Amino acid sequence: MRKILIVDDSVSMRQMVGFTLRQGGYEVIEAEHGQDALNKLAAVMVDLILTDLNMPVMDGITLIRNVRKQPALKSKPILMLTTEGLAAKKEEGKAAGATGWIVKPFDPDKLLQTLAKVLP
């Protein structure tokens, strides 16, 4: 089963995304923020990282940069959860090395489609 790491500080968002992914047949690991995600990535291999951008402790952009610096994670697909209207953030994420993005409001079907789009 493919493993996906969700990084989001919002419990409800993690619940929703997690639920959708499990329904879609994925295994889910959750992290509360970038640092938490890095800690978890050090212990577990995942197939894809799905991260929010605005988070306390370590934001999504920093997380993406960090992941891209690690040889083992360099080519890992990373999707960022962005919000319309924050085009600058999206560009920043792209520059940092995000594979793709999902625009909130969150739509379960769209999420699964997008995953299929980037997962090998």
Partner 1 sequence: MIPTSYCKPWPRCCHNAMKIDLSQFRQTFLLESADHIASMETGLLHLRSAPDDAELLNSIFRSAHSIKGGAGSFGMKNLAQFTHSLENLLDRMRSLEMKATDEVIGVLLRSIDVLRNLLDADADAAMPADALKLIECIAALMHVESTQAAAVPEDSHQQDSPEPAANAREVNLYKVEFRPDRELFSSGTNPIVLLRNLAAMGTVSCCHLHAEELPTLADLDAEQCYLSWSVELASVCAEAELREVFEFVEHLAEIRISRSVAPPQPSSAPAQSSTAAAKLAERSASDDQLAIIERRKSPVDDRRQSAVVDRRQLSAKTTAGGESGSIRVAIDKVDRLIDLVGELVIAHVMTAQMVEDFEPSCLPKLREAVAAMERNTRELHERVMAVRMLPVGTLFQKYTRTVYDIAQSTGKQIRLELRGEDTEIDKSMLELLGDPMTHLVRNAADHGIEAPEVRLAAGKPAEGVIKLNAFHRAGRIVIEGSDDGAGIDTEVVRRKAIERGLIGSEAQLSNEQLNMLIFEPGFSTKTEISDLSGRGVGMDVVKRNVQQMNGTVNLISEKGRGSTVTIELPLTLAILEGLLVRVGDRTLVLPLLSVIETVPLRDDKIVRLAEKGEVVVIREESIPLLRLTRFLGLTKEAASAGISARENGNRRLAVIVEAGRRKVGLVVDELLGQQQVVVKSLERNLHRIGGLMGATILGDGRVAPIVDVTGLGALDLFSLQVPVNNSQQVAPPAQSVRAAKTTERNRGGTAHELV
Contact residues for partner 1 (CB under 8 A)?
A: 9-13, 15-16, 19-20, 23-25, 52, 54-56, 68, 74-78, 81, 83-87, 94, 97-101, 103-110, 112-113, 115-120
| Residue with Cβ nearer partner 1 (43 or 85) | 85
Laid out side by side, the sheet with 48-52 consists of 27-31, 3-7, 48-52, 78-83, 100-104
| Residue with Cβ nearer partner 1 (5 or 76) | 76
- Residues 64, 108: Cα–Cα separation, whole Å: 23
- The H or E element spanning position 34 is helix 34-43
| Residue with Cβ nearer partner 1 (42 or 117) | 117
C-alpha gyration radius of the chain:
13
* Nearest distance from C-beta of residue 120 to partner 1, angstroms: 5
Beta pairing partners, 101: 80
3-state SS, residue 74: coil
* Nearest distance from C-beta of residue 26 to partner 1, angstroms: 10
* Nearest distance from C-beta of residue 100 to partner 1, angstroms: 4
